[in-house]
């Protein structure tokens, strides 16, 4: 039986890689892609998502525009890593236009698609969680209808990448992350920042991955060039990831949704998000002593099958 996936993205380069993983998986039916602010503006996110679908000859998959800013506070963007347009500032004169975006908004689409497929949809969120938070506020029954929720975001060791203690997706909308971690009482899986750093792939693999003689590989090589240079910089390796290698953050959450056996070690903890700390706003709170008094726990990924991950990444560009 094919898995039904709904994906919420802020389409930067690693979101593009995650989408391509899903499109290449024979056991997956991608029901739609919802877009939200994050790595770039929400309009750019929509354009980038359409570019990825065009590169994979899958423009029939519906794309929905969502929130342009967080619930509270100012927007963060990641142009320093993904390029100002979110896809490495690699020009594409044949890119699809925004006229292909659905008229229905992303939040309404999430509620509708999940309601039309009760107990079947795996929701994969690789972006700030604004759309998901708005959806559960509009329909509190939404989480009960989900088969599972897979999130790339948060952190477990208070290591930040946009603030001292904050990971980008959660820090870009802490209130939304708080709402989602507390209101979605469904099976929840977290691919957190430090875990992705510990699970990097070698640059030798990356070279072979991009060297495949396909249009998809050439597309990825074009949009990924800028981020590869950033990833190989001395500051990035020393301050953020303590070593060298490819980190396709969003792809870990997607791979877990595609293949249950991808996760080889995990821990279940109650989690929440800090909203008020001077240095810790947006940091994920992991309850190891039971003081949050929450019955619902999330599955925090610790180790994964990197061989399987490499196979899935290679297949995505074939």
Domain ranges of the chain: 3-316
Contacts with 48 (C-beta within 8 Å, 6 or more apart), sequence order: 11, 12, 15, 16, 40, 85, 86, 87
User: Which token pair is 281?
Assistant: 């706003």
Q: Name the CATH topology of 3-316.
A: Inosine-uridine Nucleoside N-ribohydrolase; Chain A (3.90.245)
Instruction: Give the model's pLDDT for residue 60.
Output: 98
Average pLDDT over residues 210-227: 94
DSSP-H helix ranges across the chain? 13-24, 42-55, 79-82, 106-116, 130-138, 142-145, 168-171, 174-183, 193-198, 203-210, 215-231, 234-236, 249-258, 306-316
pLDDT at residue 99 is higher than 70: yes
Average pLDDT over every residue of 97-112 = 98
> In this predicted structure, what is the pLDDT of residue 236?
58
pLDDT > 70 fraction of the chain, expressed in percent and rounded: 94
pLDDT 10s digits, 43-92? 999 999 999 999 999 999 999 999 999 999 888 766 566 667 878 878 78
What per-residue confidence (pLDDT) applies to 76? 79
- The one catalytic residue in 10, 14, 15, 259 is 10
More confident residue, 9 or 160: 9
Assess whether 260 carries a catalytic annotation: no
pLDDT at 126 over 80: yes
Round the average pLDDT of the chain to a whole number and report it: 93
What confidence tens digit (pLDDT) does each residue in 228-276 have?
A: 877 776 555 555 555 678 899 999 999 999 999 999 999 999 999 999 9
What number is the average pLDDT over the span 134-152? Answer: 98
pTM of the entire predicted model:
0.96
- The confidence score (pLDDT) of residue 93 equals 84
Measuring CA to CA, which residue among 37, 179, 34 is closest to residue 107? 34
Q: What pLDDT score was predicted for residue 226?
A: 80
Q: Label residue 214 exposed, middle or buried (CB < 10 Å: 0-12, 13-18, 19+).
A: exposed
pLDDT in tens, 157-200: 999 989 999 999 999 999 999 999 999 999 999 999 999 999 99
């Amino acid at each position: 039986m094919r898995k039904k996936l709904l994906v919420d993205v802020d389409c930067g380069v690693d979101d593009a890689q995650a989408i391509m993983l899903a499109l290449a998986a024979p056991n997956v039916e991608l029901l739609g892609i919802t877009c939200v602010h994050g790595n770039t503006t929400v309009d750019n996110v929509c354009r980038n998502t359409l570019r990825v679908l065009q590169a994979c000859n899958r423009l029939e998959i519906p794309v929905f525009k969502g929130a342009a800013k967080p619930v509270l506070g100012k927007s963060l963007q990641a142009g320093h890593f993904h390029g100002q347009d979110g896809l490495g500032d690699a020009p594409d004169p044949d890119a699809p236009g925004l006229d292909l975006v659905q008229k229905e908004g992303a939040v309404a689409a999430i509620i509708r698609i999940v309601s039309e497929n009760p107990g079947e949809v795996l929701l994969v969120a690789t972006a700030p969680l604004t759309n998901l938070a708005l959806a559960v506020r509009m329909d509190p029954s939404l989480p009960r209808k989900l088969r599972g929720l897979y999130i790339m975001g948060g952190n477990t060791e208070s290591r930040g990448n946009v603030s001292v203690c904050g990971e980008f997706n959660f820090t870009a909308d802490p209130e939304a992350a708080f709402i989602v971690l507390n209101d979605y009482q469904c099976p929840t899986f977290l691919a957190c920042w430090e875990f992705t750093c510990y699970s990097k792939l070698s640059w030798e693999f990356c070279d072979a991955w991009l060297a495949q003689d396909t249009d998809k590989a050439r597309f990825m090589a074009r949009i990924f060039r800028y981020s590869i240079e950033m990833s190989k910089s001395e500051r990035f390796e020393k301050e953020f990831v303590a070593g060298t290698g490819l980190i396709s953050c969003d792809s870990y959450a997607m791979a877990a949704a595609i293949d249950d056996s991808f996760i080889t070690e995990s821990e279940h903890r109650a989690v929440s998000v800090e909203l008020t700390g001077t240095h810790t706003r947006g940091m994920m709170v992991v309850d190891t002593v039971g003081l949050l008094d929450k019955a619902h726990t999330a599955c925090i990924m610790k180790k994964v099958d990197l061989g399987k991950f490499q196979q899935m990444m290679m297949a995505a560009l074939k």
